[in-house]
Structures are given as C-alpha cells and as structure tokens.
Amino acid sequence: MDKTQGFINQNKERFLNELIELLKIPSISADPNYAESMHQMAEEVANSIRKAGADMVEVCETDGYPIVYGEKIIDPSLPTVLVYGHYDVQPADPVDLWHSPAFEPVVKKTELHPMGAIFARGACDDKGQMYMHVKAFEAMVASGELKCNVKFMIEGEEEVGSSNLATYVKENKEKLKADVILVSDTGMLANDVPSITTGLRGLSYVEVEVTGPNRDLHSGLYGGCVANPINILAKMIASLHDENNHIAIPGFYDKVIELSDEERAEMAKAPFSKADYCKSIDIEDVYGEAGYSTMERGSIRPTLDVNGIWGGYTGEGAKTVIPSKAYAKISMRLVPDQDPDEITRLFMEHFTKIAPEGVRVKVMPHHGGEPAVTPIDSFAYEAASKAYEKSFGKKPIPVRSGGSIPIVAMFEKELGLKTILMGFGLDSDAIHSPNEHFGLFNYYKGIETIPYFYHYFSEMA
C-alpha cells in the first residue's frame, strides 16, 4: 500500500478542498425546501465516484431522494466490498448558535483538533466520512493497488429513516452481492484511542398528543376544574421512569439481552473519564439507570427520552390559559433483541392506559429501526483491526455505540451480510448540533486506514 499512501500524502490539500465544496450544498433531507440541493448533491457524489475510477455509476431515482450506486469490478472471482454512506444531513437549526454559517465550511483549530477541524453541517455525519471512502478508492485505483471489487451505495435519506433504501436493497439483491459491508458513519473513542464500533442501538420513535377541553380556556374561570393537558402530559411522562430510572412500561425489558459479567468487565476496560465527560458538556454529574456505568447506559441499555414538548402559550408575556392540547416527541433507543414494532406497541398500550379521565391520548409512531451487533471474530473484523493497528500504531478497542443506523440490521436480514463500522468521528464533533465539525487528523486518518482494510481483507477473504 506504499504507492497508495504516497498518493494520499501528495493530494491531501485537494482532498480537503473537494470535501469543502460538497459541504457547501445544503442537502437537508428532512426539509422539502432543499429538494433541489438534494438532487445536486446526488449528482456531485456520483461524479466524484466516477472520477475516482468507478466503471459504472448511476443515480437511481426512488420515491424519495436518489441513491447513488457505483462499482468497479476488477475480477468477479475476487472479494467484493460494499461501501455504504449517506449524503443527506440534519437541518442546521438552531442556526443562531453556529459561530459560522452551517453551509459555509471553515477550518479552525480547537483543543481536541490542534491540526484543525472543518466546521460545517455534515462535516462528520456523514459527508466527510463518506468522502474518505471515495478518496481512499481513488488512491488505490490510481496506484494500481486495489485488489478487491468495490461497490458504493450512498443514500440521501438516512436522517429520515431510509425507507426507500430498504426497498432498493430488497429489489437489487443480485447487484449488491458482496462479501462485507463497510461503513464510516460512527465514531471512535479518541484520536489516540482507536476503536471499532461493534454495535448500534435500535430506535422506536413516537409522537403523543393529549387533548383536554375542546378549546383553550380561561385559567381563572376553569382552572382547578378540568384536566390541563400539559400538567397531565408532564405527569404521564414523569411516570415512565421509576425511582431507579428503569423504564416503567410493562414488558419493555423482556427481550433485552443482559451482558455476562465477563463481557461487562471487558467493556469497562475502555478508557472513560467521568470528569472529562462532564466537563465536555458542562454538567455537574451524570444521571441514569441504577446499576450501570455511564458507558453501559449509553450503549448496552435501552432508553426513553423526550425530544421535544410543546403546547399552550409560549409567546411574549403572560397569557392565562388552560390549553386544549399538549404534545411530545419521544425516542426510545433499543438494544438486542428488542423489536422496534413491539416496543412501539407496548408504549402505545401503556401510554393510553395511564391517561386519566378527562383527557384523550393519541400516539403516532414514526420511523424506527432494529439494533445491530457485529461479531469480532470474523475475517472482516480482523482486517479492520489490523488496518487500524497499521495506521494508528495501536490495536483498536471494540466498542458498542449508542447511536442508530437502522439500515445495518436490514443489510444483514436482506443481504445476509455483516457490516464493519469503521467510524473516525469523535463524540465531541457535535453531529446534529450547531458547530458540527470533523478533525483533519480524523479525515486523513480515515483515508489512510481504509486502503489497509482492503489490503488485509483481500488477503484473508
């Protein structure tokens, strides 16, 4: 891989400038106002894969945003790596909290990124990480060191549930045939503590609506006499956790796989500083389920969190009113073997049951996804591990992540393929938040590490 690494070294500046151009396109999948940018982004991704050396590239239309597919088949008898990533990003809101505009990328140095980091929406999640694969591929092709077949599948609806990708995968099983799926859409522990993600949580997401009286009422005339939907909703939500912060929905934990003491001891070896953790997000102390460490709470345990809550009067000054309605959006992160549909059903039944007389409750399910775990005894994991060892000079630690990429479980079900999650982001990169960024160290390390994966994987598979 010496030629490949040499090529990367000589082209670093261009690789950065190209990413900066992609980051200027506001490809926000959740907001229909950005539809044109979404299509433009798909075309740019397709062009970049074509220019990098793919034999065939297509922009596949779906009922939603296009999926970019590209491939280079050098010899059908060689192993095939299927690269997945997403070109869509989360909305930039709240825009006021960005130090520079979300779609005007700038490179700045930070305490954790002395080499500099690119600040822009999508820098880490997932344009920057997706593009590392395009550049690694370009370098291997240019150097004549690519020893595998490569397929790219880059979608534009990851942040909104990937429903059209699911259909695409089901309808294109032959075309997507591969030996392993490779994804960079997660993180690692620290720049000097490389890790490979070995699990993702699933997701069940619901919106609830509590209705009281048929109109907003004067809170003097009616106050004390009718159920206030916001008071009731707050009570109902508060009752969803018990005093140990266990989730109080009957049956919620029935399918949760508990880790053995050995597995927990193994997990506890990963470095974690509670003080640094608290400092990084400016809190006094951590909070969570009794009996589990912070690392465990954030990866192997399921959660229930309110993501948004609204209703009544929230404008200037005081308005004395009992609202007719109250709303909340609630996410539940799931772990093996919880099933998102079943959890959504359990939530609906429970939430409807605990509603007191005097209010009506509606629960609307949103998109969800299954949890996933990846084995650490496969050829592919071994290849990834060796690749990190080569580029970081340290063996990576397997770590289960708290985030979700629902499509990973679907890949396994539909294509029978395990995924290797080679993430190069940091938790501090502020993905989905204002001032998202991606370290240049991380971007370049990703581009350097990926070719080693191909190298070891083609030797072993």
Picking from 382, 379, 391, the residue whose alpha carbon sits closest to that of residue 446 is 391
Q: How far is the CB of 154 from ligand BES (least distance, A)?
A: 13
Say how far apart CA 333 and CA 351 lie, in whole Å.
17
Minimum distance from CB of 338 to ligand BES (Å)?
15
Cβ atoms 204, 347 nearer than 8 A: yes
User: Least separation, in Å, of the C-beta of 160 and ligand BES?
Assistant: 7
- Residue 442 found at the interface with ligand BES (CB under 6 A): no
Report CA-CA distances (Å) from 248 to 41, 255, 308, 346, 408: 44, 15, 20, 11, 29
For residues 355 and 304, what is the distance between their CA atoms, to the nearest angstrom? 18
Q: Which of 155, 157, 159, 436 binds ligand BES (CB under 6 A)?
A: 159
* Of residues 200 and 232, the one with the C-beta less far from ligand BES: 200
Asked whether the bond before 213 is cis by omega within 30 degrees of 0, the reply is no
**Residue 317 beta carbon to ligand BES: minimum distance, rounded to whole angstroms:** 36
Name the packing angle between helices 379-392 and 440-460 (round to 10°): 140
Which does residue 451 bind out of Mn ion, ligand BES, none, counting CB within 5 to 8 angstroms by kind? none
Residue 436: CA atoms inside 13 Å, Cβ hemisphere, count?
Answer: 25
Q: Which residue's CB is nearer to ligand BES, number 25 or number 188?
A: 188
Least distance to ligand BES, CB of residue 361, Å? 25
Where in 188-207 is the site for ligand BES (CB under 6 A)? Answer: 200, 203
Contact mark string toward ligand BES, 390..409, x via CB under 6 A: -----------x-xxxx---
Q: Taking the mean position of all CA atoms in its chain, how far away is CA 224? A: 45
Candidate segments 8-16, 30-38, 183-191, 367-375, binder of Mn ion by CB under 5 A: 183-191
Considering the rule CB under 5 A, would residue 157 count as an interface residue with Mn ion?
no
d(CA 395, CA 329): 40
| Lookup: tokens for 118 | 């690119």
| For ligand BES, the closer CB: 44 or 159 | 159
The site for ligand BES (CB under 6 A) is made up of 125-126, 158-159, 161, 185-187, 200, 203, 369, 401, 403-406
Name the site residues for Mn ion (rule: CB under 5 A).
Answer: 125-126, 185
